[in-house]
Amino acid sequence: MTAIDSENIINVSTDASDHIFTIEKKTSLENSTVDYETAIKLCGYGRFHYGFTILCGIIFLFGGCQSSVNAYIIPAAECDLKLNSNQKGMLHIAFLLGGLSSSLLWGILANAYGRKTIIVSTLLLDSIFTFISTMSQSFQALIIFRAIAGVTIGAPGSLIYTYLGELTAPKQRVKSICFVGFCWTLASFVLPGLAWIIIPLRFSYYFNGYLFNSWRLYLGIIGIPLFICGFILMAYPESPKYLLSRGKKKEALMILQQIYAINTKQDKLNFPVLELKITSNEANNSTNITDENTIDDSSSCTIIQRLLKNAWKQIKTITSPPFRKYAILCWIVYFTNMYGWYGFGIWLPELFNRFENYYELHPNGTTASVCKLITVNNNQIINALSDCDHWTINSNVFMQTLAINAASATGIIICGCVSNRLKRNTIPVLASLIAGIAGYVIYTVNSSTQIIIVACIFCVMMASANIVITSVVIDIFPTHVNALAICLTSAAGRIGAIVSNLAFGLLVDNNCETLIFMIATIVIFGSLLCHLIPNDKPSKIFQQSID
């Protein structure tokens, strides 16, 4: 009788006051809990996500610039620093080794301190060291700074996907990630565009024994947007999914309420969720840790012990059934993808430059295959064309690179539009297969036009496969190991890129045929492995881990 009377009182009060209605509405949810995926859906998709996705895209855009800037500064700096083919390859490798060496570190720290904290810190550090690197006066100095850049940009390069994915509902997640991947491709427009404007400038300033010229200015400009983005990102919240995995339900709920308010223009108190449920996806033994990853102990030994203990727990999760087979699969597939991408993609400006220089030396219409072209002694070409002190990239190279990147951007847009309509492994399988075939075809081309067409196909397919593979990793692994899983997968890709660059530096001048066929074969092998990518929903995989 009392319960009935109480209910009647509430109903009467609702008619009298909207505010009391809200309380009554919330009371009906008071004893229920909602999982994170449901809660993030209820936040809607609006102004918050538009702004956050664009910011992530800009970060990824200039992170891509940092990752690929070697392709343009190396041909421009080869006379300044007296670089040979092996040294050019070592500069590429130094950057990749920096990223590889820090992959595990950033994954551990992101799971200990949060996604936002690590990304902001590394963005600011990367920009500072980039500015300093413009003063490099030798090959040795430049290679050290490029290795440091690899370390610092490795965090946002890997963790942006995790950060964005955790703040986006499943329905928009793949599209958002594809947009960010598209922004990485935009770096391929920004880099040659800026290079076209800046690198041909013929100026040299000497002060206190330091030379500052166009390619150094070009490198320094790349660091400015990253510095700005680091400060802007400070205004955004930590991933609520990460906070939930740490047992911080209230903090996670408050962030979701803010997102809801921004997206819907309603009061945050109207958010129809009162409590978040920690599922197997978010769980990280939160009942057994008193937020051990929020480290406030003054002892450095204690901090290191906790980080190593946490890292070991995460690695055990990733390398234990049912995740082990998916981890190994993702690592191998990403290795093959980055082996192919860096095998051809990062060296394309160099190849285009050699093509243009060859035709400038042979204006009578003589054609040359790729292998014939790259066996020509590059130093002889340089000496025949001009005084080495003023050597720069042929302007046609920028147009050719822009054409390839335009094709890649188009491919990623199409990939984003159709990704939700196809099985998860369809795009990686087809894209890698077509890219591998294009790799074989590169051996037969004998003009810059032909290599542009084939390179367009190759780069479009590799970029499309790369984006989908990354989204698969985000879906498969649970939140408390997600950042580390992404970083380990990126590490596997960087190993592939390092091996590819070693092979390119060693074989490009002496054994071109082996190089081309090796790259194409490895890419096709990756295509075959993509058949094994699971098409099950993540919830099924998580359920297997519980069972």
3-state secondary structure string across 477-519: CCHHHHHHHHHHHHHHHHHHHHHHHHHHHHHCCCCHHHHHHHH
- Across the range 145-150, mean pLDDT stands at 90
Instruction: Specify the range with the lowest mean pLDDT, choosing from 180-184, 245-249, 262-266.
Output: 180-184
- Across the range 233-260, mean pLDDT stands at 89
Q: Which residues contact 469 (CB under 8 A, 6 or more apart)?
A: 330, 333, 334, 337, 428, 489, 530, 533
Higher-confidence position of 72 and 547: 72
pLDDT band for position 221 (50/70/90)? very high
- For the chain, the distance separating the N- and C-terminal CA atoms, rounded to the nearest angstrom, is 45
SS3 of residue 82 by DSSP: coil
90 close to 505: Cβ distance less than 8 angstroms: yes
SS3 of residue 277 by DSSP: strand
Instruction: Specify the range with the lowest mean pLDDT, choosing from 16-30, 216-230, 426-440, 451-465.
Output: 16-30
Express each pLDDT in 405-420 by its tens digit: 777 777 777 776 776 6
Residue 335 has a pLDDT of: 92
Instruction: Specify the range with the lowest mean pLDDT, choosing from 54-58, 219-223, 291-295.
Output: 291-295
**Verdict on whether the full-model pTM lies above 0.75:** no
CA distance 465 to 425: 9
Higher-confidence position of 30 and 492: 492
394 close to 181: Cβ distance less than 8 angstroms: no
- Across the range 500-504, mean pLDDT stands at 80
Q: What does the H/E/C string look like for 297-342?
A: CCCHHHHHHHHHHHHHHHHHHHCCCCHHHHHHHHHHHHHHHHHHHH
- Across the range 487-492, mean pLDDT stands at 82
High-pLDDT (> 90) share of the chain, %: 13
CA distance 461 to 352: 20
**Can you tell me which residue has the tokens 């598209």?**
182
Higher-confidence position of 290 and 512: 512
Looking at 387-478, list the stretches that DSSP marks H as alpha helix, in order from N- to C-terminal side.
Answer: 395-418, 426-442, 448-476
**Can you tell me which residue has the tokens 């550090």?**
125
Length of the chain: 547
- Token representation of residue 310: 């946490």
High-pLDDT (> 70) share of the chain, %: 78
Other Cβ atoms less than 10 A from the Cβ of 204: the count is: 12
From the centroid of its chain, how far is CA 326?
20
Residue 286 has a pLDDT of: 41
Residue 123 has a pLDDT of: 94
CA distance 524 to 318: 26
Q: Does domain 39-241+316-546 correspond to CATH entry 1.20.1250.20? A: yes
- Across the range 146-169, mean pLDDT stands at 87
- Check pLDDT > 80 for residue 1: no
- What sign has the CA pseudo-torsion 195, 201, 207, 208? positive
Express each pLDDT in 123-135 by its tens digit: 999 999 999 988 8
Using left for φ > 0, alpha for ψ between -120 and 50, and beta otherwise, residue 164 falls in alpha
pLDDT band for position 383 (50/70/90)? low
- Check pLDDT > 80 for residue 315: yes
Other Cβ atoms less than 10 A from the Cβ of 379: the count is: 14
Using left for φ > 0, alpha for ψ between -120 and 50, and beta otherwise, residue 391 falls in beta
Instruction: Specify the range with the lowest mean pLDDT, choosing from 80-84, 268-272, 303-307.
Output: 303-307
- Check pLDDT > 60 for residue 309: yes
- Across the range 447-458, mean pLDDT stands at 79
pLDDT band for position 534 (50/70/90)? confident
Domain extent listing, the chain: 39-241+316-546
CA distance 329 to 524: 15
- Check pLDDT > 80 for residue 370: no
pLDDT band for position 364 (50/70/90)? low
pLDDT band for position 531 (50/70/90)? confident
CA distance 481 to 281: 10
- Check pLDDT > 60 for residue 542: no
Instruction: Specify the range with the lowest mean pLDDT, choosing from 70-79, 204-213, 227-236, 407-416.
Output: 407-416
- Check pLDDT > 50 for residue 435: yes
Residue 294 has a pLDDT of: 42
- Check pLDDT > 50 for residue 16: no
- Check pLDDT > 80 for residue 520: yes
Higher-confidence position of 188 and 366: 188
- Check pLDDT > 90 for residue 119: yes
Residue 283 has a pLDDT of: 53
| Of 494, 516, 520, nearest in space to 504 by CA | 516
Looking at every residue in the chain, the average pLDDT score rounds to: 76
Q: What does the H/E/C string look like for 204-244?
A: EEEECCEEEEHHHHHHHHHHHHHHHHHHHHCCCCCCHHHHH
Residue 129 has a pLDDT of: 92
- Check pLDDT > 60 for residue 498: yes
Instruction: Specify the range with the lowest mean pLDDT, choosing from 492-496, 500-504, 535-539.
Output: 535-539
Listed ranges 51-60, 82-91, 175-184, 276-285; the one with the highest mean pLDDT: 51-60
Residue 304 has a pLDDT of: 60
520 close to 255: Cβ distance less than 8 angstroms: no
